Amino acid sequence: MTDSHLGPVSPTTEALGALRPLSLDAVRLDADGLLGAWQRRNAEATIPHCVDELSATGTLENLRRVTGQSDREFAGMWFRDSDIYKTLEAAAWQLVHGDDPGLRDLLDSTASLLAKAQQDDGYLNSYFTTVHPEKRWQELDWSHELYCAGHLIQAAVAAARADASAELMTVARRFADLIVERFGPGGTDGVDGHPEIETALVELYRATGHRPYLDTARRFLDLRGQGLLGEGRFGAAYFQDHVPVREAEEVAGHAVRQLYLLAGMVDVAVETHDTELLDAAKRMWDSALHTKTYLTGAHGSRHRDEAYGDPYELPPDRAYAETCASIASFHWAWRMLLATGEHRYADEMERVLHNAIGAAIAADGRSFFYSNPLHLRTGHDGSDEDAPSERLSWYTCPCCPPNLARLMASLHGYLATADDDGLRVHLYGEGILRSPVPGGEAEVTTRTAYPWDGRIELTVTATTDRPWTLALRIPRWCGRFTVEVDGTTVAGDAEDGYLRLTRSWNTPTVIVLDLHMPARLVSAHPRVDAVRGCVALTRGPLVYCLEQADLPDGTVLEDVRLDASAPVRPVERADLPEVPVALAADGTVDRSPSPEPYRDHAAADDAAERLSLTAVPYFLWANRTPGSMRVWIPLG
């Protein structure tokens, strides 16, 4: 087995951490399974789509303005370079799946263009070089210069780990060296209004061993919360600059900024053995996950500043829930999982991946949601890009699509980890993985229809007869499970969220883990008053929703109620793309509601008519006819 192709987030051997990632070459998802199908769709549709859009929208042309090859107007928002970098990162991770001359050429030719556009001192930014050279480093609150640099660095690290474009790493290091010189220890005090550089510099340190990158990342964290960014349009909390990161008690401000910052905090904490910083991240996890996260795993309710609201301010229809925040949550959770080994972080990765992230991409992989509400009202005006009724092929601010592409291309790197005891499987998908284990190497082949079925068959072999532990995550939604080893039921508990099987695996052994997966009705904490009197339907890791497409003609979704006393049943649905299982439920619909918006509380309900309901996975919504949708359904 080669371990030359490390994936995103590869802590050094000196880092704090309970778990170690597997190399990208060691894991393969089969396209028969849902996660593998998503990964194949990403390769076949989403990455080529992003590459096309870079040209079609003039984003690459912006760089040619720097090199004198174009005199067109600067196109798009001032941080457009980051879309190029995220697409290059996706291309690099994709190359680990198998060589692709087109993607390799994209990386090489773009790296060459970037090298030409780079200034003599290493600075690289198409907007500030050609449009406002006098503002270079002068407006860090909004300039996104270090944010763009961070994405360049992450693309270069991915390329290096994929044995692709060496020139990209040369470009990134020249820029990173300039950043260290200017903002590193002993340099100017400054932080970027949009975190990203922190985690990128730690990854660059991991890829190069050059300590000043890590020290500069730590310095950016320690300088935050000192008011360097000012109040801006939305106040210092918008930038997470209102309180030092070690003292923060509550997630606040722009959700993507907050979550990228938290990912950087964990990266710095584990590489510098800074348990105080890690403890601060754990506190923030409790704040975010207990009071400010949607049922789908999405973050951030406020549209005005793309921000977290107050605790329990989680309106389903006005959820902002930006796709990038969902991706950032997944990235943060992975870092917390590696650092602590605690199952709750893997549980959250599963939830946000299968729901909020899954919903952001159309079934054809070529259109995307930016915001991800849990309720789209009948009659919604979808003309606003912030809250469209349908996925759009691109956006004025197209941060989300290439972010999805880079996550999906590297998705197989997040399934399992190695540790001193053996191997842990966190996410279940059909495929094969190999892992170092004490005394040798293990191979695990997984056959499953998860998440449609809870039966997971794992065939395990190892090159050593030395005993080691296979740990399988028992998801928090799972109330009951059984496990067989070579056909014999064995006792097992999962007190800390993992079922552990310790033995010698030197002959092929078949494990059948059966996670009981009934449909569940979920209610919200009473303080989430926006959904009081409602329940959501879930099954396994999936949140389901009602869609207009499944209602009789003339039925208004908001007039529908669920009868919670009737059973909710899984039903096969061969007609839905990628979705063999929907849920059938019973409910009522008010056929003649009064047009008056308010009425006497003591007045009897209008006559309600019985109605059979079909709920489909939330990630599928808006793939058929456009129309209303809701996750939280009123009881009645």
- Determine the interface stretch with Zn ion among 329-337, 394-402, 531-539, 565-573 (rule: CB under 5 A): 394-402
| C-beta closer to Zn ion: residue 297 or 627 | 297
Instruction: Confirm if 295 and 522 have CB atoms less than 8 A apart.
Output: yes
Q: Which of 298, 292, 260, 357 is nearest to 619 (CA)?
A: 357
Q: Which residues is 460 bridged to in the sheet?
A: 444, 509
| C-beta closer to Zn ion: residue 374 or 400 | 400
| C-beta closer to Zn ion: residue 164 or 324 | 324
Contact pattern for Zn ion over residues 3 through 22, marking x by CB under 5 A: --------------------
| C-beta closer to Zn ion: residue 333 or 562 | 333
For residues 551, 556, 558, 559, the Cα torsion angle rounded to the nearest 10 degrees is -90
Choose which of 95, 229, 328, 400 interacts with Zn ion (CB under 5 A).
400
| C-beta closer to Zn ion: residue 327 or 418 | 327
How far apart are the C-alpha atoms of 630 and 295, rounded to whole Å? 12
- Determine the interface stretch with Zn ion among 124-132, 301-309, 400-408, 460-468 (rule: CB under 5 A): 400-408
Token look-up 């730690």 returns 202
Name the amino acid, one letter, at 455: R
Q: Estimate the crossing angle of helix 323-340 against helix 275-291, to 10 degrees.
A: 130
- Determine the interface stretch with Zn ion among 13-21, 89-97, 172-180, 398-406 (rule: CB under 5 A): 398-406
How far apart are the C-alpha atoms of 151 and 500, rounded to whole Å? 38
How far apart are the C-alpha atoms of 152 and 84, rounded to whole Å? 8
| C-beta closer to Zn ion: residue 180 or 197 | 197
Q: How far is the CB of 400 from Zn ion (least distance, A)?
A: 4
Tell me the two tokens of residue 578: 């990628």
| C-beta closer to Zn ion: residue 298 or 399 | 399
Choose which of 399, 460, 524, 579 interacts with Zn ion (CB under 5 A).
399
Q: How far is the CB of 398 from Zn ion (least distance, A)?
A: 8
Contact pattern for Zn ion over residues 121 through 140, marking x by CB under 5 A: --------------------
How far apart are the C-alpha atoms of 167 and 172, rounded to whole Å? 9
Pairing state between β 422-425 and 468-473: parallel
How far apart are the C-alpha atoms of 401 and 597, rounded to whole Å? 40
Nearest residue to Zn ion, by Cβ distance, number only: 324
Contact pattern for Zn ion over residues 39 through 78, marking x by CB under 5 A: ----------------------------------------
For residues 53, 92, 197, 180, the Cα torsion angle rounded to the nearest 10 degrees is -120
- Determine the interface stretch with Zn ion among 16-24, 356-364, 397-405, 619-627 (rule: CB under 5 A): 397-405
- Determine the interface stretch with Zn ion among 229-237, 312-320, 393-401, 493-501 (rule: CB under 5 A): 393-401
Task: Give how far Cα 80 sits from Cα of 41, 110, 148, 566, 612, Å.
Answer: 25, 14, 8, 52, 48
- Determine the interface stretch with Zn ion among 159-167, 221-229, 291-299, 391-399 (rule: CB under 5 A): 391-399
Tell me the two tokens of residue 553: 């003609």
Q: How far is the CB of 297 from Zn ion (least distance, A)?
A: 15
Q: How far is the CB of 151 from Zn ion (least distance, A)?
A: 12
Sign, Cα dihedral of 367, 359, 570, 34: positive
Active site residue 399: yes
Token look-up 């082949």 returns 445
Region 460-489 residues binding Zn ion, contact defined as CB under 5 A: none
Question: What is the DSSP code string of 157-172?
Answer: HHHHHTT--HHHHHHH
| C-beta closer to Zn ion: residue 325 or 620 | 325
Q: Which of 377, 466, 460 is nearest to 420 (CA)?
A: 466
Q: How far is the CB of 257 from Zn ion (least distance, A)?
A: 11
Q: Which of 50, 148, 399, 478 is catalytic?
A: 399
Note the residue count of the chain: 636
Q: How far is the CB of 327 from Zn ion (least distance, A)?
A: 8
The site that binds Zn ion (CB under 5 A) totals a number of residues, namely 3
CA-atom Rg of the chain in angstroms:
25
| C-beta closer to Zn ion: residue 319 or 324 | 324
Q: How far is the CB of 397 from Zn ion (least distance, A)?
A: 7
Q: Which of 61, 145, 271, 306 is catalytic?
A: 306
Q: How far is the CB of 401 from Zn ion (least distance, A)?
A: 8
Q: How far is the CB of 81 from Zn ion (least distance, A)?
A: 15
Question: What's the number of CA atoms in the CB half-sphere (13 Å) around residue 248?
Answer: 31
Contact pattern for Zn ion over residues 310 through 329, marking x by CB under 5 A: --------------x-----
Contact pattern for Zn ion over residues 346 through 385, marking x by CB under 5 A: ----------------------------------------
270-273 long-range Cβ contacts below 8 angstroms, 24+ apart: 270/11, 270/15, 270/16, 270/17, 270/335, 270/338, 270/339, 271/11, 271/12, 271/14, 271/15, 271/16, 271/202, 271/205, 271/206, 271/214, 272/214, 272/218, 273/16
Q: Which of 109, 143, 108 is nearest to 126 (CA)?
A: 143
| C-beta closer to Zn ion: residue 82 or 118 | 82
Run of H or E residues at 311 = none
Phi, then psi, of 341 in degrees rounded to 5: 75, 10
- Determine the interface stretch with Zn ion among 47-55, 94-102, 264-272, 392-400 (rule: CB under 5 A): 392-400
Q: How far is the CB of 463 from Zn ion (least distance, A)?
A: 44
Tell me the two tokens of residue 591: 């056929």
Q: How far is the CB of 394 from Zn ion (least distance, A)?
A: 12
Active site residue 89: no
| C-beta closer to Zn ion: residue 83 or 550 | 83
Run of H or E residues at 348 = helix 343-352
| C-beta closer to Zn ion: residue 110 or 403 | 403
- Coil, strand or helix at 292: coil
Q: How far is the CB of 79 from Zn ion (least distance, A)?
A: 11
User: Binding residues for Zn ion, per CB under 5 A?
Assistant: 324, 399-400
Point out the residues that are catalytic.
Answer: 306, 399
